[in-house]
Each structure stands twice: as C-alpha cells, then as structure tokens.
Amino acid sequence: MTAYGLLVSPSHNRVYAQAAADLVKAELSVFSERALGGRVEDIAETSIGGVPYVTFTADGLSETDVRLLSNLSSLYALFEIEDGGLLRPVPLAPLDVFGSDLLTIQKYSGKTNEYFTKLLLNVTALASDAPLDLIDGRPRVLDPMCGRGTTLNQAMMYGLDAAGIDIDRKDFDAYAAFIKTWLKNNRVKHQAQVANVRREKSVLGRRLHITLGASKERYKSGETMEITVVNADSLGAGQFFRPGSFDLIVTDAPYGVQHGSRPKGAQPGRNGRPELSRSPVELLSAAVPEWAGLLRTGGAIGISWNTFVGRRDELADILASSGLGVRDSDAYQGFRHRVDQAISRDLIVATKE
C-alpha cells in the first residue's frame, strides 16, 4: 500500500475553508466507492510539517486513477508519502479546459461556492451507471435552477455540454452578459444567440444558446460544446428539452433565506404573480417528477439544500416517488456543513432506475 497526502486548496473563503478537509474526505470516499473499487483506505486529516493534509492509502494508483482524482473539488496538490516523511509530487491531469477565472470572476450575493459546485457535480457523476464517463465520456448536464450559471461554468470547464433553466429574468440577463463577455475577452471561438421560444404563437420563454470550442482548432473541426439557458419556470422544463436527454441533473435548491422559487399551483401575490416559496420541499415535490423525465435511465441527480428548511428523509421520499434510487451508503453521508448561521448545507444523490 502506498501512502498519499492531498493538500487542500488555500483559496477557499474563510467559512468554506473550515469545512474543506471534511468535505474532501467525504468526496474521496465517494470516488473510492464508485470508481476506484474501494481501494482508497485510511482517509484522515494529518499534519505534515505543521501543514494539514488529507492523507490516505491506496494499492497502486493507475494513470486513470490519477486522472480521476485530479478533479477532486478542493485538490491543490497530491504527493506520495515516502519512508521518512518525504513528499514526492504526483503529476496531475485535471479535465479543465479553460482558466479558473471562468469560475471565480463572478461575484454576487447568493452565489454557490464554486468548489462546492464542483464537488456536487463530481459526486453526482460518480453515482451514475457510468462513473468513469466523467473523464472518458461526455455526460450532458442540466441545472434546472441555474441562477447565474455556476454549474454551467463548471461543466464548461470540464468540456461538457450543459443546459440550465431559471425563472429570474435578471439572472438570465446577467449570465448571458457575463458569458458572452468572457468568451469574447478570452478569444474563445463561439456563436451566441438569444431568442424567444415560441409555441402556437405564444412565447414560452427566452433561450440563450452558445456553441463554442475549447480551441480554435477544435472549433474549426466541429469539436464543440453547447451551453443552453432558458429563462422560464423550471416546472415546465419538459417543454424545452427532450425526455431522457441528460445524463446528470445538478442543482442547488432554495435555501429559504434569500432564494425563492415558485411552487406548482401557487396563489397570486400582490403583484399578480405567484408568490415565492422559501421551502425546497414544496418546490422539489412539484419539480422533481418533471426533471426525472429528462434524465436517462442510469443517469443521476444531485441536489444540495439547507437542512434547516428541509429534512433529508423528505427529499429522499420525493426522489423515490419519482422512480429515483437514493444513494445512502456511508460515503454519501458526510457532506453536511455550515455555510452561515441560517444555512446548514447537505447534498443528496439518486439515480434513475
């Protein structure tokens, strides 16, 4: 058995940094269970030279294993720990095809931490029936409550096709402005268009569609990615995307603090539009059946939420009632962490059976 030390990224914000090591340990457990044959053992937090590391043992990591582990959400560096405590760097091979500013440049109230978004995408992808597609395939990703596109940007970093839906016009406009400006400033070859989505002479929403290439050569050869965002109610997602057209559904549910979504059948508020629900349980009970229809058999859905406004067993029941099997092994039980005084965040993952 070979001992390894994982150095956690130092660029976390203060609150997330306090939970980062525990989250990496939980994420590493999922990687081991779902894609590494349970060969990662003895996961712990260890001080080496006065610096905290996440350490583990494994029976000879292959090139594919290292490619997979290179995408751990908070990984900064990986070392083999030799006899005498010497550290030998392990060359990493992350999937990233763009610079990190794609994820970090946007700053706004309510933004999901980009490290956690990456973690949620990772553990969801590994829960599917083809976990190694994360590095060897092209799983298609949907975020049905995409906000200003953190999940879409992470999928784009991985070179994946992604789609999103959001009901907030300001968020849609802000993401469209950001991503078009970012692509232009970074000289990424692309085409982008915003157009109304019409059916039977009615406007159902607006759609941003982007085709881009990770390089000029790939773009010219037709090796492109597609990013699609619809400004509409997520409860009508089936009007915009084909059944079974996504491998992964990844989303951050309303926290019940400054986030809100419209539940199915809500009564009009004072402005004549349905009032916002602060309950992820009410929203998800209406939305998950719609989302499940867009997921292929064997695909996976991952949802993060505020445990102060929704219990895990409630979300598990909602997922199960839509034909989704919840991953409830010990590896998936270690992700709960504090975000602030009003938010304790956890995640739940399920697969379409």
Sheet with strand 87-89: strands edge to edge: 40-48, 51-58, 2-8, 75-81, 87-89
The predicted structure's pLDDT at residue 107? 87
pLDDT tens, position by position, 250-283: 999 987 644 344 444 444 444 444 454 557 899 9
Residue 220: HSE in the Cβ half-sphere, 13 Å Cα cutoff: 3
Give residue 265's pLDDT. Answer: 45
118 CB contacts (<8 Å, ≥6 apart)?
71, 73, 154
Q: Tell me the C-alpha distance between 160 and 137, whole Å.
A: 9
CB 317 within 8 A of CB 300: no
Pairing label, strands 225-231, 202-212 = antiparallel
SS3 284: helix
* Per-residue pLDDT at 11: 74
pTM: 0.93
Residues in the chain predicted with pLDDT less than 70, given as ranges, are: 256-278
| pLDDT tens per residue across span 101-155 | 999 999 888 888 999 999 999 999 999 999 999 999 999 999 999 999 999 999 9
Per the DSSP assignment, residues forming a β-bridge with 314 are none
The whole-number pLDDT of residue 275 equals 52
Distances (CA, A) of 148 to 114, 163, 194, 229, 337: 12, 12, 15, 10, 23
Per-residue confidence (pLDDT) for residue 109, from 0 to 100: 83
- Structural domains for the chain: 2-89 (3.30.70), 101-352 (3.40.50.150)
